Structure formats: C-alpha cells, structure tokens
Amino acid sequence: MSAVPTTTPVPAAPRQWRDGELAVLLLLPIALINAIGFILPVLNLARYSFNKSRVGGGIEAVFTWENWAGLLSDPFYLELVFNSVWISLAITLTTLVVSYPIALYLHRASGAWRTFLTVLVISPLLTSAVVRTYGWIAILVDDGPVVGAIKALGLPAPSLMFNIKGVFIGLTEILMPYMILALMAGFGRLDPRVEEAARTLGATPSRTFMKVILPLTLPGIALGCLLCFVLAVSSFITPKLMGGGRVFLLATEIYDQAIVTLNWPLASTLSILVLIVFGAALWAYSAVLRRLD
C-alpha cells in the first residue's frame, strides 16, 4: 500500500486567505448588486419622499415634510398599513397550514414520484399570477362551480368574488409554491432516526409531529413565512383583480399613486413606510430564529 509516496505538507504553501479577506472576496458580487440595485434606488426613493408633487404627476425638487406629515396624520393611511399587515399575516399563516402537509409529503416521497410532484408544485408558478387569478375568478364567481356546489348543499350562497374573501383564497394559493419550496429547503435537519425514536417512546404520529417534527422544521417555517409575508404585502395584481376595488392595501395604493395618479413622492413615502414595516418584521424574524438556536 505504500507504493505511492504520500505527499508531505508543502512548507511553501500558497498564501492563506484570512477569513476576513475571503469574506470580502466572496461577498463582493452580491454587495455590488445590492448597492446599485437596492441601496442607491432606495436612497433615491427616500429623496423623493421629501419632494413636492405637482399636479398631474410632476415632481418639484424642493424639500418638504408634506408627504410624511400628510401620511402620518391621515387615518386612511394608518388603517391601510394596519389592514395590509394583518391581512398579509393571516394569509401567510393560512398558506403555511395548507402548504406544510404537501411539503412534508414531498420530503418523504422518493424517486421519480417526488420529482413529478415537485414539478406539479412548481407548475402554478409557470402560469403567470395574472392567469391564475383569472382562473380563480372563473372558479369563484357568483355563478361559478364553488358557489354552485355550496348552493347545491342547501347552504346560503356566499359572495366569494370582488371582496376580501376572494383575495384571501386566491393569494393563499398563489403563495403556496413559494412556501412549499422554502419549507423543503429547511427540512434538512429532519433525521428519520429521531422521528423513530419518538415513536418508540410512545409518541403517536400527531404528537411526534408536534413535539419533534415541527420544532425541527422551524427554520424552514420561519423562512417560508417571511417570504410569503413579504410577497403578500407586495402583491397587487391579485388584490386588484379580485378585490373589486374594495380592498385597499399598501401595494395597491402604491400602484395607484405611482402608476395611475403619478404621485411619485407619495408613492415613495408609502414605499419607505413599507420598508420600515418590513424592517420590523425582519427584526422579529431574526429574533425568533435566534431564540430557536
């Protein structure tokens, strides 16, 4: 076995990367993209939020607190923020509840079956959100199949379209693939041996789930919830199409201000507000993660 001499450590080893240098080198691309694609634009936005808007959509480059003062003193906007946050939270939680079983099932499936199901999960994302929303409209309209089925059961027919219910149902479905992918990415820590240990200790499948599987998959859950919350708050296509103009959310409002009314300073102010709300959410998320560790 000693036919080939083993290599002894070469004293003149190539220069060692120190951790700090390595970090800088590896983070350079993402940092550049972040700086140009995010920080700079956001600074620009922040600047706009202190500019004056002119009638018809013009922007006057003078400093003013008007936008912020107007925003923070108008109960309409405060309610808007509050509504957006809690609706998004509710949608996120619902998405989690309906996605988790699928993700777990996928995690345990194997071979081609798993691939096939994974593709099925992804396929909704290939159908643009606009088209899927139209699909939901076709399903949920007053004379559509769902309302028809409910009526056939003799129950009072609910109105599922052009209100918050429709937005809820549609958006939940639209966010599911993202949630499922995030959950699956976080399932790595789930060692089957540990589940087995719980079962031999007398835990029923449901208690094994609550006590072992759930805690071990918390990182994935936290990630999925973060992504979905963010996407829910950002979404405006679905609320616009399914909300019937009754559902006012931050993103739809920003859309209206930026695209319809062309009030960029106000849109910027709202955006910075969203950023602050999200910053808080992110902070909460990291706090939760740190607790889990």
Cα 14 to Cα 11: distance, rounded to the nearest angstrom: 9
Residue 259 CB, nearest distance to another protein (Å)?
5
CB of 154 to another protein, least distance (A): 22
- Site for another protein contains 144 (CB under 8 A): yes
148 sits near another protein (criterion: CB under 8 A): no
Among 182, 225, 228, 265, binds another protein (CB under 8 A): 182
User: How many chain residues touch another protein (CB under 8 A)?
Assistant: 150
Part in contact with another protein (CB under 8 A); list of ranges 61-69, 85-93, 140-148, 150-158 = 140-148
Q: What's the rounded Cα separation, in Å, for the pair 141 and 139? A: 6
Q: Which region, judged by CB under 8 A, interacts with another protein, from 61-69, 85-93, 109-117, 147-155?
A: 109-117
> Which of 72, 78, 82, 246 lies at the binding interface for another protein (CB under 8 A)?
246
- Indicate the angle between helix axes 75-108 and 66-73, nearest 10 degrees: 80
Nearer to another protein, 73 or 200 (CB): 200
Please give the C-alpha separations between residue 84 and each of 81, 91, 92, 203, 234, in angstroms, as whole numbers: 5, 10, 12, 40, 10
Report long-range pairs for 129-133 (Cβ below 8 Å, ≥24 apart): 129/174, 129/235, 129/237, 129/238, 130/237, 130/241, 132/170, 132/173, 132/174, 133/170, 133/174, 133/237, 133/238, 133/241, 133/242
Nearer to another protein, 155 or 282 (CB): 282
**Cβ neighbours of 254 (radius 10 Å):** 20
Q: Which stretch binds another protein (CB under 8 A): 61-69, 85-93, 148-156, 174-182?
A: 174-182
Where does this chain touch another protein (CB under 8 A) — which range of 24-32, 61-69, 85-93, 149-157? Answer: 24-32
**Smallest distance from the beta carbon of 93 to another protein, in angstroms?**
15
Residues in region 111-130 near another protein by CB under 8 A: 111-112, 114-115, 118-130
> Which region among 25-33, 61-69, 85-93, 149-157 touches another protein (by CB under 8 A)?
25-33
Indicate the SS3 state at residue 61. Answer: coil
Count H helices and E strands in the chain, helices first.
Answer: 15, 2
> Which of left, alpha, beta for 57 (phi over 0: left; psi -120 to 50: alpha)?
left
| Contact between 267 and another protein per CB under 8 A | yes
> What is the H or E stretch that residue 60 is in?
strand 59-60
Binders of another protein among residues 47 to 86 (CB under 8 A) are 54-59, 76
